[in-house]
Structure 1
Amino acid sequence: MKNTSRPCLKTALAHVLRSARKLQRLTQEDFTLVSSRTYLSSLERGLKSPTIDKLEEISSVLGTTPAALLLAAEIMCSDSHPDDVKKSVLDQALRLSSRQ
């Protein structure tokens, strides 16, 4: 799935959401407090993109963070080694937050 185009990120995030849910042994119905099953299904199939607020709600049910989900998707889309992607994203985040 490695590709540097941004449509890859949408597809990769869909895969990450589904994989994370299955890894936690959760069903789509387990997300009913934050999302409908239909909406979650459309996210997992890459038909829709979540808002930041929705990604935060979904990640809390998954026991992770929105950043971790996005980083996992970014790693899937990159031709670089996962450690290099992680370091690059962290360096950019620190620069953007002015907390170096």
Structure 2
Amino acid sequence: MKDPNFAFGKIVSNLRRTAKLSQEELAERASIHRTYVSQIERGLKSPTIVMLLKLAKGLNTSPSKLIKQLEMDIGGN
């Protein structure tokens, strides 16, 4: 099984790049610090539910879509 933090970080990074956002722009949209976005994308942080909600808002998606992608990436149901 893949490391969930690393897999989630890649998902956030890919969605951010697809939206043509910098880490700073995503951080501003999500009301979080840019260094925290970097840490999440590198798999160094395990985001809380509140952070999941903020990231989803910043990426203009739903938390459930982020979790669904994570489930597919780590081999969940």
Asked if TM exceeds 0.5, the reply is yes
Structure possessing the higher radius of gyration over alpha carbons: 1
Unaligned runs of 5+ residues in structure 2 are none
Would you identify which runs of 4 or more consecutive aligned residues in structure 1 move more than 6 Å? none
TM-score with structure 2 setting the length: 0.86
1:39 matched to 2:39? The reply is: no
Structure 1 residues without counterparts, runs of 5 or longer: 86-100
Partners of 1:11 and 1:19 in 2: CA distance: 12
Give 3-state SS (helix, strand or coil) of 1:59's partner: helix
Output the TM-score relative to the length of structure 1: 0.68
Q: How many pairs are equivalent?
A: 75
Percent of aligned positions with the same letter in both sequences? 32
- Aligned twin of 1:93: none
Pick 1 or 2: higher relative contact order, CA cutoff 8 A, min separation 6.
2
1:38 and 1:27 map into 2 onto residues whose CA distance is 12
The aligned amino acid for 2:50 is D
Aligned equivalent of 1:16: 11
